[in-house]
Amino acid sequence: MTNQVLPRKAAARITAAFTDAGVTGRLHALDIDTGATVSVAGTQPVPTSSLHKVPLLATLYREAAAGRLDRTRQIEIPTEARTPGLSGLAVMRDAVRLSLRDLATLVVAVSDNAAADVLWREVGLDTVNRTMAELGLPETVAVHLMTDIHDLLRADRAAPDPSDVNGFSALDPARTNRSTPQELTALFAAVWRDEVCGGELGAELRSLLGGQAWTHRLASGFPFDDVRVSGKTATLPTLRAEAAVVEYPDGGRYAVAVFTRAASPATVLPAADAVIGTTARIAVDALRLR
């Protein structure tokens, strides 16, 4: 099989899998070591929502590597003014004191919006955007915090028919934090190639990105005990996404980003979650066959 035929066949199977799951999707997969790719509309802009926590944490560690920030510094986090959310500090009832890197751990483990916004305020939107530009990711732009996305969604929900998500600002990449599947894979690849930060910090950042608690999306496509999936999800009404690095014991490592939009506005759609794993594996299998 030639190098062109295979990704084309994979792309057709990926599109068919999206359709079968009742979603439309965008996918970009990158072999971190060879640069080979599989892409389905992978360069189009997508709203990043919780996936922008990865540029945030990459910047946190890059700033730490540059000596501009101490990731072990502890911060008092009172109960007041915490960003609303459904996990982590957002649901806790008492004041806590945590280091920046432990906040980062919560951000990945349970997509903690409150912890993320503490870090956004410490690191700054501009620093994150500048860092992404430095890494060659100009389409990866943050314009607001998790709390602002929360406010946009509350306003969107007040629309005459809240199940009609077409006009939702939080889903419009022009009006919220954005990137492309391709740039997100490039960011994960940079983390795995020590290009964001090296040494102990690089290893710590990768370990932290391996700590996500749930496995219903991208990891569901790799139910293999000896394969490591380090990913971060993003969820908005009808939008389900995850970007991750998949590492095989033979040394193969692949960055994959999958964004789906479901036809149904239902909150719980197992097939739409699982197709993120299904399509990621089709892409990774194609890259491994080359």
Partner 1 sequence: MDLLAHLRYFRAVAEEQHFGRAAVRLRLAQPSLSQRIQRLEREFGVRLFDRGRGGAVLTPAGRLVLAQAEPLLDAADRLQSVVGRLQDGEAGTLRAAVPDQLGGAAVAALLTTFRERSPGGELDLRELNSRDQVAELIAGTLDVGIVRHPNPAAGLAFGPILHQPLGVLLPSDDPLAAQPSVDLRALAGRDLAMPPRATAPALHDETLTACARHGFTPNTVRGVEGLEFTRALIMAGAGLVALIPEPAPAPGTIWRPLTGDPLTWRTSVAWRPGHDGPAVRIFAEAAFDALRTRGGMHTSVPEQQRFPRPVSEFAL
Does the footprint of partner 1 cover residue 109 (CB under 8 A)? yes
| Window 237-276: residues binding partner 1 (CB under 8 A) | 249
| Binding range to partner 1, per CB under 8 A, among 141-149, 164-172, 212-220, 255-263 | 212-220
Q: Which runs of E-coded beta strand occur in 37-84?
A: 37-40, 46-47, 74-77
Phi, psi of 225 (to 5 degrees): -60, -25
CB of 223 to partner 1, least distance (A): 6
Nearest to 39 by CA among 15, 55, 17, 18: 15
| Window 117-136: residues binding partner 1 (CB under 8 A) | none
Does the footprint of partner 1 cover residue 232 (CB under 8 A)? no
Element (H, E) at 229: strand 228-236
Whichever of 143 and 227 has its CB closer to partner 1, that residue is 227
Does the footprint of partner 1 cover residue 281 (CB under 8 A)? yes
Strand order in the sheet with 37-40: 37-40, 23-31, 253-262, 239-247, 228-236
Reading the block at residue 243, the tokens are: 């970007």
Does the footprint of partner 1 cover residue 282 (CB under 8 A)? yes
List 41, 144, 228, 274, residue binding partner 1 (CB under 8 A): 228
Element (H, E) at 17: helix 5-20
End-to-end CA distance of the chain: 8
| Binding range to partner 1, per CB under 8 A, among 61-69, 71-79, 216-224, 258-266 | 216-224
Eight-state DSSP code of residue 284: H
The Cα 99–Cα 135 span in angstroms is 26
Total Cβ atoms within 10 A of residue 270: 10
| Binding range to partner 1, per CB under 8 A, among 69-77, 162-170, 213-221, 236-244 | 213-221
| Binding range to partner 1, per CB under 8 A, among 123-131, 189-197, 218-226, 253-261 | 218-226
List 136, 162, 198, 223, residue binding partner 1 (CB under 8 A): 223
Q: Dihedral of the CA atoms 267, 268, 270, 275 (nearest 10)?
A: 10
CB of 239 to partner 1, least distance (A): 23
Does the footprint of partner 1 cover residue 211 (CB under 8 A)? yes
Q: Tokens 């030639």 correspond to what residue?
A: 2
Q: Where do contacts with partner 1 occur on this chain (CB under 8 A)?
A: 9, 109, 210-215, 219, 223-228, 249, 281-282, 285, 288-289
